């Protein structure tokens, strides 16, 4: 059986599967655990004790903070935090961080 013509233009299955998995990973929405881990890494251990991400909707991350002092601290570092989160989550997944006082 000749294969040359019948398989012309077909990609190897390995290449097809690699493309499928790359697309699935790119489309995957980060879960709560992922977002918590990214926040902890970006904000740092001490800040993580006083703040937690509670939602990511319409590219806006809402973070609950336990005191006004911590809101001020995090607000001053907002650009740095946003840059780190964009790197971790993808620049098209997050555009803003909102801080709110509350329990987490």
Task: Supply the DSSP string of 9-67, one letter for each residue.
Answer: TPPPHHHHHHHHHHHHHHHPPP-HHHHHHHHHHHH-HHHHTTEEEEEEETTEEEEEESS
- The topology (CATH level 3) of 30-101 is GMP Synthetase; Chain A, domain 3 (3.30.300)
Predicted confidence at residue 85, as pLDDT, reads: 95
* Residue ranges covered by each domain of the chain: 30-101
- Name which residue leads in pLDDT, 52 or 3: 52
Residue 104 has pLDDT above 90, yes or no: no
Mean pLDDT, range 27-41, rounded to an integer: 86
Answer yes or no: is pLDDT of 3 > 60: no
pLDDT given at position 76? 97
pLDDT at 74: 98
Taking the C-alpha atoms of residue 4 and residue 87, their distance in angstroms, rounded to an integer, is 44
Predicted pLDDT at 62 = 97
The per-residue pLDDT of the chain, averaged, comes to 86
The three-state secondary structure class of 3 is coil
pTM: 0.72
* pLDDT 10s digits, 57-80: 999 999 999 999 999 999 999 999
């Amino acid at each position: 059986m000749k294969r040359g013509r019948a398989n012309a233009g077909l990609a190897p299955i390995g290449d097809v599967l690699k493309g499928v998995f790359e697309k699935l990973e790119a489309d995957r929405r980060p879960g709560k655990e992922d977002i918590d881990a990214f926040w902890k890494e970006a904000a740092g251990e001490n800040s993580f004790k006083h703040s937690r991400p509670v939602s990511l909707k319409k590219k806006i991350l809402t973070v609950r903070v336990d005191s006004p002092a911590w809101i001020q601290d995090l607000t001053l570092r907002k650009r740095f935090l946003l840059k780190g989160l964009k790197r971790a989550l993808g620049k098209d997944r997050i555009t803003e961080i909102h801080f709110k006082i509350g329990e987490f």
